[in-house]
Amino acid sequence: MKNLLILLITAVLLGGCFANRQPITNIAAIQAGLAEKEALNKHKTSLKTSLDPAEQLSFRLDYARLLIKDKRLPEAERLLNALRKHEKIAAQAYPLLAEVYELEDKWPRALIAWQESVRLSSNPSRKLTARLAKAALRCKKYETADKIYKQWLTIKENKGGRLHITALNNLGFSYLLQKNYPLAKQYLDQALVLDPLNKKAAANLNLILKLHH
């Protein structure tokens, strides 16, 4: 009987302890939940929910690049034609528009777009001028292309280098298209002197010999 009484008292005491602990646990969970919610709200309010005009233009330009990558050329053309009218972003829009025209085989328009790209650039890169020269050749605007290639020949630090050889080969090809075979051969011979294994120059020279005969 005595043992039973001890067990009952122990059970009551333990029940009281658990009853006291349960509310504490619930309060801690509620507090933790509120703290997490507050942190989430602060994070949400710190996020930028709108783009300023410059950021909007940049976003649209990135979207145009994605359209080109996905070969959705008509959509890219419409978007870039709108973007090129914005002065702040025109210099970036025109090269992309020129690429679209090339992919659509609209070379006269590509030539105009490349010309605008060069005009808007404070210091046109050789890659940019090379794209302009390529479009000029496709449109039979040989003077435009030849002027670029001859300018490359004047760069002293590239004398005898890769760019110099490329300029000689491209001039040879340009004069080949113009059916000025002696001058074309002259430039191609110079390219092969500097680089005897140049496959493009050798192929162009071989073509000249076939056309000449």
Which residue has tokens 């646990």? 25
Can you give the pLDDT at residue 181?
A: 94
What's the pLDDT at 120? Answer: 96
What is the pLDDT at residue 170? 97
- pLDDT value at residue 159: 84
Lowest average pLDDT, out of 14-28, 55-69, 197-211, goes to: 14-28
CA distance 119 to 122: 8
Tokens of 7: 């067990």
pLDDT attached to residue 53:
82
Rounded distance, CA 9 to CA 12, Å?
5
Model confidence pLDDT, tens digit, residues 106-135 = 999 999 999 999 999 989 999 999 999 999
pLDDT at 7: 46
pLDDT confidence of residue 209: 86
In DSSP notation, 24-70 reads HHHHHHHHHHHHHHHHHHHHHHHS-----HHHHHHHHHHHHHHHHHT
